[in-house]
Structure formats: C-alpha cells, structure tokens
Amino acid sequence: MSDSNVLEVKGLEVTYSTNRGDVKAVRGLDLAVRRGEILGIAGESGSGKSTLAVALLRLLKPPGKVTAGSVMFHPAGRSPVDLLKVQGEELRVLRWSALSYLPQGSMSSLNPVMRVQDQFKDVILEHAPARKETLRELIPTLLSQVGLEPRVARMYPHELSGGMKQRVLMAIAVALEPDLVIADEPTTALDVTIQRVILQSLADLRTDFGVTLMVISHDMGVHAQLADRVAVMYEGRLVEVGDVRQVFKDPRDPYTRQLIESIPRVGRRAS
C-alpha cells in the first residue's frame, strides 16, 4: 500500500520552547496521505493542526522545533525523501513543483508591490524555466480555472477582493502541478457564499490537476463538503482518522462527536 501514499508521517513531535518550559504542540502523530485524495484535518484552535501544516512545509520558525519523527514524501517520478531531513538547495528544488502551499486568503501572502502575473512568473520560471514561452497562455488558463478573468493578471493584490486573492493563491498553488498541496484554513475569513464557491473550485482543481490536497480547517462543514477522509486532532494528538461519511455518521471518539455537534443547524438555538 505504501506506493499509493504521497506522504507518510510517523511519530511526529513538534515542540515550542518558551521560557516557562517546552510546549508540545504535536505529540507522536502518525498519518498517511493517499495519492489523489482530499484529506481534511479538523480540530479546534490550539489543537496543533496549523503547526502540523507548517512543520510539513518546513516553514516552522523558532521557537518551534521538530523534536521527533519522520515524514516520508513520495513525489511522482522522484525518489522518496524525508521532508524533515532535506536541507538547502535540495529542499528549495522540492518546493512548489512537488510540495506547494495554499495559505489563508485573508493573510497578506501576495507581495503587495508585484503584479499578479509576476507572482506566477517568478515561481514558474524558478522551477520550470522551460515553460517561459508558454507563460502568456499558461497564466490566463490557470486564472480561468479558478474562475478569474485574464485581466486579473495585470492587477496588484490591493486591487483584489478577499475571495479573488484566495483564488489567485489557489491558481498559483497548482501552477506546477505539485504532488501535494497543503491548504491552511483556505476558507477562513471569507463570507459564506464565497466559501462555497472556493470549496467547489478546490474540488475542481483535484479533478483537473490530479493533485493531492491536505485541507486544514476548524470548520467541520468544510470537511463534510470537500474531504474524502478526515483526521481529527485534539491537543496535539490524532484522535480519529477515517472516511468522511463514516466519521460523520458514526464518530468513534467523543471529541469528534462534540465537534460534529458544534455545526450550527436550523432549529437548534444556542442557549
């Protein structure tokens, strides 16, 4: 089964050292991500799900530190690597063409002084210089894939709405057809109607580009709508992993049940 997995996390442990002792944000986590699936990571704030994303992307900054574990990554057409061990140039080459990142759209992840097309260009030319000739068609195609007009390419980030920024980030994330996209709260801070559209485009990206998606969200509704499988985290541990229907229908862990019950429903008022 191991060749059908894109990512195999074993015993991952992430610690933040503070002056009042160490805090373990992720504790002995084991997780496998299957090729082509959409895996949802659920959990309340502080459960360690964002730390997990940052650690996998190797963007963890001090005082955060990976203290144990291994993360085997199997990019298509390349030899498998341990994401926690690769360094420098080897890591830089791996980024985006194999492992890309979809940050939260409300964050200012786009460079404010560069046109949208230049933010596509720099990453494409960095990792796939051969595509230089096709850039003129490639960028509008990518933009239309996420439902944006070609003229957006010539705009600056401050001229875009939150939803448009999120779409631009999605288009950049899949520009090089990576093996795995890690999306950290892709719909947070967007209004509900835009959330739905963004989730639909994310699902479309999987069909169009065949990428594997790891979606981190505190919103169980997102997982219900988008994910194939859900992993639930609580206090740095994985409490449950399973098929999305099974988890929602018959949650094994009491915490998962609470999470599912936290989804607001018509007719049930907060007391």
Closest CA to 119 of 91, 147, 157, 89: 157
Q: How many residues bind other proteins (CB under 8 A)?
A: 27
Give 184 or 240: the residue with its C-beta nearer to other proteins: 184
Residue 111 binds other proteins, judged by CB under 8 A: yes
Give 10 or 131: the residue with its C-beta nearer to other proteins: 131
Distance from C-alpha of 126 to C-alpha of 116, rounded to nearest angstrom? 16
Give 118 or 204: the residue with its C-beta nearer to other proteins: 118
Task: Say if residues 231 and 219 touch (Cβ distance below 8 Å).
Answer: no
Give 117 or 256: the residue with its C-beta nearer to other proteins: 117
CA 150, 152, 153: angle at the middle one, nearest 5? 75
Residue 167 binds other proteins, judged by CB under 8 A: no
The minimum distance between CB 113 and other proteins, in angstroms, equals: 5
Alpha-carbon torsion 236, 238, 240, 242, what sign?
Answer: positive
Identify which range of 94-102, 200-208, 244-252, 253-261 contacts other proteins by CB under 8 A.
94-102
Distance from C-alpha of 229 to C-alpha of 214, rounded to nearest angstrom? 10
Of the residues 8, 13, 44, 126, which one makes contact with other proteins according to CB under 8 A: 126
Distance from C-alpha of 15 to C-alpha of 22, rounded to nearest angstrom? 6
The pair of three-digit structure tokens given for residue 3, joined into one six-digit string: 């060749």
Of the residues 74, 127, 167, 218, which one makes contact with other proteins according to CB under 8 A: 127
Give 158 or 245: the residue with its C-beta nearer to other proteins: 158
The minimum distance between CB 173 and other proteins, in angstroms, equals: 10
Alpha-carbon torsion 207, 213, 217, 221, what sign?
Answer: positive
Residue 57 binds other proteins, judged by CB under 8 A: yes
Distance from C-alpha of 135 to C-alpha of 187, rounded to nearest angstrom? 28
The residue whose two tokens read 């401050």 is: 158
Q: Applying CB under 8 A, which residues contact other proteins?
A: 57, 59, 91-97, 100-101, 103, 107-115, 122-123, 126-127, 156, 158
